[in-house]
Amino acid sequence: MPSATTDNAADDSDESLMLRFAGGDIGAFDVLYARHELAVWRYVFRSVRVQAVADDLLQDVWFAVARSAPTYTVSARFKTWLFTMAHNRVVDHFRTAKQHVSIDAQGDDDEGLGLGDTLAADSGFGPVRRLESSEQAAALIAAVERLPLEQREAFLLQAEAGLSVEGIAEATGVSFETAKSRLRYARNSLRQQLQEFA
Task: Read off the pLDDT of residues 8-62 as tens digits, 9 standing for 90 and up.
Answer: 667 799 999 999 999 999 999 999 999 999 999 999 998 888 899 999 999 999 9
pLDDT tens figures, 79-138:
999 999 999 999 989 888 744 444 444 444 434 444 444 443 444 444 444 445 677 777
**What pLDDT, on the 0 to 100 scale, is given for residue 113?**
41
At 81, which helix (H) or strand (E)?
helix 78-96
Diameter over CA atoms, the chain: 55
Q: How far apart are CA 163 and CA 106, in angstroms?
A: 28
DSSP string, 112-147: --BHHHHHTSS-S-HHHHT--SHHHHHHHHHHHHHS
Give the pLDDT confidence score for residue 133 in this predicted structure.
63
The confidence score (pLDDT) of residue 55 equals 93
Record the pTM: 0.69
Between residues 167 and 137, which one has the greater pLDDT?
A: 167
119 closest CA partner among 61, 160, 161: 160
